[in-house]
Amino acid sequence: MTETSTPLTTVHLVTLGCARNEVDSEELAARLEAGGFRLVDDPEQAEAVMVNTCGFVEQAKKDSVDTLLAAADLKQEGSAKAVVAVGCMAERYGNELASSMPEADAVLGFDDYADVADKLNRILHGERLDAHVPRDRRTLLPLTPVARREAAAGVAIPGHAHGAAAELPDGLAPASGPRVLRRRLGTSPSAPLKLASGCDRRCAFCAIPAFRGSYLSRSPQEVLAEARWLVDQGVKEVFLVSENTSSYGKDLGDLRSLEKLLGELSAVDGLDWIRVSYLQPAELRPDLVAAMTSTEKVVPYFDISFQHAAPAVLRRMRRFGDPDSFLALLEQVRSRAPQAGIRSNVIAGFPGETEADVQLLSDFVAEARLDVLGVFGYSAEEGTEAATLPDQVDPEQVEARRQALADLAAEVMDQRAEERVGEQLEVLVESLEDGEVVGRARHQGPEVDGVTTLVGDVDGLQVGSLVSAEAVLSEGVDLVARVHHRR
């Protein structure tokens, strides 16, 4: 900085929710930096705090509100001048959130992302911006998936932000080919990579399609360009994310687009692992299972959204399946990849759920032997079909069922980890702290599926190192493994 230059205004970004939100935050970071702001890690050093909220379920919304209030406290202490809400909760509730939270200086929706730097600058100069009025974003794109590509050019869709390549500062996006605005906010050797946005499913409990919009795939060229750029930033593993990854390519005119893309990603130099997430059981066709278990660099990891096992409950959810078909799918995966990691989520207490349905779900959880299972209590989300259904389960009963299922899931997960003792693992090193080397094996997804602590010959290992090790101990869902080879 020269003596005559003006210090850059500082902004701190807080990311809540899923890995998709992480990608959106990095788009916002790129836009802010390109617009003259400086990103800082410490909120107490920031003149503006921007909170990328989550609006999926009640607890996530509460966490978002609490984070906004905590940021507002910094204003009271004099260190921050503005608090801004963005992300899913801001998009979903817009002016309603703004009126109920005067502590936030602005509530910006997805349509504001393109000129977020200008809007933040105006906020910091005392201007009050009107909060957006929420709308059903499914109406912004054609009903027919293959007709959406051309129409998408005029719609704000986080993660599909095409910038003027010549005007982007170095380091913000791939240097050649399709360029998507992105600025990494961390140094992890793993990074989420968005394949698509939105969802065409009509699950009765879910409000996401209304505020995220209809399903839209990114082109393979864009995905590959961003993967190469991530590798240049030190990334060893890309975590493919979307609201529904198994639908990738439905709007590109090729239902095998994901299988082909996995092969193309595998050819990216410097990329070691490719991890796929957010799969629908009804869309896990045999060819996709085969590609995920045979393509070089694709780790055998299946994040399958079951949500329940009782057929009657699934029908009311506007989903389909039953224990036998789900177990057959798991057997298909494990027959091809015996060490595959499999995780899922289920909802307890959905309207009309009976004790028999709960027992059927419990039996499925015990028999499925999943590595990780998230158990959520049903909450009636406004604007969803489920909120209007009869036979709503009493909230105390919902919690009791959730807790019982969570206890069973914890027991099964611990057993699965114990069964892995003696397995030969490949581990990606993620942290080195106080002499402890911690990473993840191929069956462990980022942040949510447990970790593997390495012992033995760990001297000289670095974050991003890949090592071969033998699992020698389980501690809950976590493993301890002894190193016997490194590369």
- Show binding-site residues for [4Fe-4S] cluster: 18, 54, 88, 199, 203, 206
- Residue 213 sits at the vertex; the CA angle it makes with 380 and 259, to the nearest 5 degrees, is 110
Number of alpha carbons in the 13 Å side-chain half-sphere of residue 88? 30
Any idea which residue has 């389960």 for tokens?
393
Binding-site positions: 18, 54, 88, 199, 203, 206
Closest residue by Cα to residue 71 from 100, 88, 47: 47
Identify whether the C-beta of residue 46 lies closer than 8 Å to the C-beta of residue 10.
Answer: yes
- Cα 396–chain centre separation: 29
CA distance linking residue 226 with residue 219, whole number of Å: 11
CA distance linking residue 259 with residue 279, whole number of Å: 13
Q: 409 vs 38, 179, 480, CA distance in Å?
A: 44, 42, 21
Any idea which residue has 């051309």 for tokens?
150
**3-state SS assignment for residue 275:** strand
Identify whether the C-beta of residue 247 lies closer than 8 Å to the C-beta of residue 234.
Answer: no
Residue 340 CB neighbours (<10 A): 20
The per-residue b/e assignment along 204-229, b for 16 or more CB within 10 angstroms, e otherwise, is: bbbbbbbbbbbbbbbebebbbbbbbb
CA distance linking residue 148 with residue 213, whole number of Å: 11
Residue 455 CB neighbours (<10 A): 14
Amino acid identity at 249 = G
**3-state SS assignment for residue 3:** coil
Dig out the tokens for 421 from the structure. 């003792």
Phi, psi angle pair for 352, to nearest 5°: 85, -5
Identify whether the C-beta of residue 245 lies closer than 8 Å to the C-beta of residue 292.
Answer: no
CA distance linking residue 264 with residue 43, whole number of Å: 40
Give kind and range of the element (H or E) at residue 96: helix 95-100
